[in-house]
Structure 1
């Protein structure tokens, strides 16, 4: 029997990684280097927790909500469906997903583009709020997307994020689904236990069933 295939769906986190304007970019500096009297290399990293593939905490969109260290991990691990809605336009609607809605598992990732952006693109695709509510009605507990946000880049009301809050959905953003065929997988995308943080980077992977 062939071993399961792993799809790494995490983009490279680097100083060139696209970020929302004004967010904190990735930066690495060395605090120690191998040499006489020093047996190791040590680095220090600064970045927004929203750089690269990441999990938003409810705290990101509600002051009285849990930070990422308090979020239950079960949603980030288990059966998952990748649905293609390539070229869907500004918003993923229910009609873009109906063709793959039979027997949905608790986790749904939507691919909206042929190739994930490597530079900031303000016109990325997002979720229509009613689509997230519909997915919750189907028993979905986690949603994901291959763009920076479930809301449009110019949104000030974050209507899709508010549906996440109201329906207690978890979310993954900035995934790379370029090479992932539509279908069912096991998702592994655990956030770090960052005290008080509004989000966490994840190393998101899909394993074939």
Structure 2
């Protein structure tokens, strides 16, 4: 990512009018209770909504983003959530004020992912097929990958990147993950906050062999 792109993201997160969702992604929300225990990675964490959900579900989390302004907001959300959880009323207390999250400012395009490290990896809205091999290698055997992103669409869409350059084509993410066990894959039109979008959802596991375990029933992604 170029310096101008990094500065653009910082400026975007610095603007008070830009307020990303604080709720975890629908895919993570649907499957968070089924993830294996162990360390988790949140790629392109933004203001930390998915990292916070993973930490509150018992995972130690590495959360990576290029924007220092985004991570500043994420740390503020972390302190608020910790105090609410520990003290109920959000009042100031002495002692720790954080969850088990390591906030990492780094360019994901150049980041050195540790191999066989994570029980779960969440990727939300990062167009990174050229880094996907390294991301998959960062999974432990049995580790789960959750990936959500925007799609190119023949229909008009109102959310997501303004250019198809940063959207996946149909089945592009699926083909890139066929070395994993695909547990769920969907491409569909979505409606969020009154805006139409086209999104892909993938749930996959680093495992192999003709006999696998699978989720019992598809959980609605809303």
- TM-score normalised by structure 2 residue count: 0.29
- The alignment's TM-score, normalised by the length of structure 1, stands at 0.31
Name the structure where helix makes up a greater proportion of residues: 2
Asked which structure has the greater RCO (Cα within 8 Å, sep 6+), the reply is 1
